Structure 1
Amino acid sequence: MSNQQPDSVNCFIISLQEQNLLLPQSVAVEVVTQQVVRSVPGAPAWLRGVFDWRQAQVPIVSLDTLLQVPEERQTRINRFVVLHGVERHAGLEYYGLQVRGIPHPVKLSPADIELEPRREEDPSVIAARVRASGVLCIIPAFEMMEDMLEAGLKGL
């Protein structure tokens, strides 16, 4: 008999303002705090600005803004998860997601994840809603988010 464990994935559950975010650890590079963020004139509201990281300028996406959390309810803490760009757009090797909490590492198997219904107001950058180890989370559509970033930056 085989004692083989079911496939599992190392992930992070990270607090946003009113939601939790589920990210595979493989896309996260680093969590950085208290960076000087420069605004980008003419950028959409969800593009918070850019900051310098490892000799690169990293654009920052606010999922809270995309999820329509009012500005006055958003935390002012500058904490960002730097992600690898999966689409390999020129100039978008890395980008950041503005988050509120500190990433909580979890190891998830298929049995630990339950699909939840999407909400009518969910933007297209939300690929899915899931319950991961009992915690309600959103999973971003990385490709769509990166396409939005590329278009948003080109238009400036």
Structure 2
Amino acid sequence: MSQSITKTDTPDQIDCLLIPLKDRNLLLPNVSVAEIIPFSHLLTTASSVDWILGRIDWRGTPVPVLCYEMLNRQPAPAPNPNARFAIVNGVGAHPQMPFYALLVQGIPSLVHIRESEIQEVEAMHMGDYDQSAVSIGQDAAMIPDLELVEQSLLRHI
């Protein structure tokens, strides 16, 4: 009797962060977020747009901070004692902006997602910078268009 080794296929998983905003969540691949840091004092910038809140110094690097809600033409979130910054790795490898920060409204949660678990949904209130709306189990989230966010930041910093 011969024995054969059978390969067990395991579904590919993507580690993502479910990032809380004012009234929705963003879903980002874990590798796109360098760090979640506590809210800190913002330094002013000469930006002409209100969605760039200022900048922070992160590990010796000046990092612009943006409000995703305001970028998508929604009202600014109310002050929140649980607010943090998500330091996002730039996708375009621009030397003048290797990172930027998103204002988030709580502690992101790590989720392990299989492609089959993501269901695209029709969203009535998608913003210009939302690539798609999805549900993952009980959670709904927006997947942002990080390239478009970064291009807009580069035009205004």
TM-score after normalising by structure 2 = 0.88
3-state SS of paired residue (1:89): coil
Among candidates 12, 16, 20, match of residue 17 of structure 2: 12
Among candidates 130, 142, 149, match of residue 153 of structure 2: 149
3-state SS of paired residue (1:4): coil
After superposition, the C-alpha distances for 1:85-121 in whole angstroms (9 at most, x for unaligned) are 01112311010011001010010001211001243x5
1:1-150 to structure 2, matched below 5 A, reads 1-71=6-76, 73-77=77-81, 78-119=83-124, 121-150=125-154
State whether residues 72 and 128 of structure 2, in contact with CA within 8 Å, keep that contact through their aligned partners in structure 1: no
RMSD: 1.6
Give 2:3's aligned residue.
Answer: none
Structure 2 gaps of 5+ residues are 1-5
Distance in 2 between the 1:93 and 1:139 partners? Answer: 21
Matched letter for residue 78 of structure 2: Q
3-state SS of paired residue (2:55): strand
> How many Å apart are 1:76 and its aligned residue?
4.0
Matched letter for residue 130 of structure 1: V
Distance in 1 between the 2:105 and 2:12 partners? Answer: 30
Matched letter for residue 17 of structure 1: K
3-state SS of paired residue (1:146): helix
How has the CA–CA distance of structure 1 residues 74 and 68 changed in structure 2, closer, same or farther, with 3 Å as cutoff? Answer: farther
Identity %: 26
State whether residues 126 and 133 of structure 2, in contact with CA within 8 Å, keep that contact through their aligned partners in structure 1: no
Where does structure 1 differ by over 6 angstroms across 4 or more consecutive aligned residues? none
How has the CA–CA distance of structure 1 residues 68 and 74 changed in structure 2, closer, same or farther, with 3 Å as cutoff? Answer: farther
How has the CA–CA distance of structure 1 residues 105 and 123 changed in structure 2, closer, same or farther, with 3 Å as cutoff? Answer: same
State whether residues 73 and 127 of structure 2, in contact with CA within 8 Å, keep that contact through their aligned partners in structure 1: no
Distance in 1 between the 2:47 and 2:11 partners? Answer: 48
Larger radius of gyration: 2
Distance in 2 between the 1:123 and 1:69 partners? Answer: 9
State whether residues 72 and 129 of structure 2, in contact with CA within 8 Å, keep that contact through their aligned partners in structure 1: no
State whether residues 17 and 75 of structure 1, in contact with CA within 8 Å, keep that contact through their aligned partners in structure 2: no
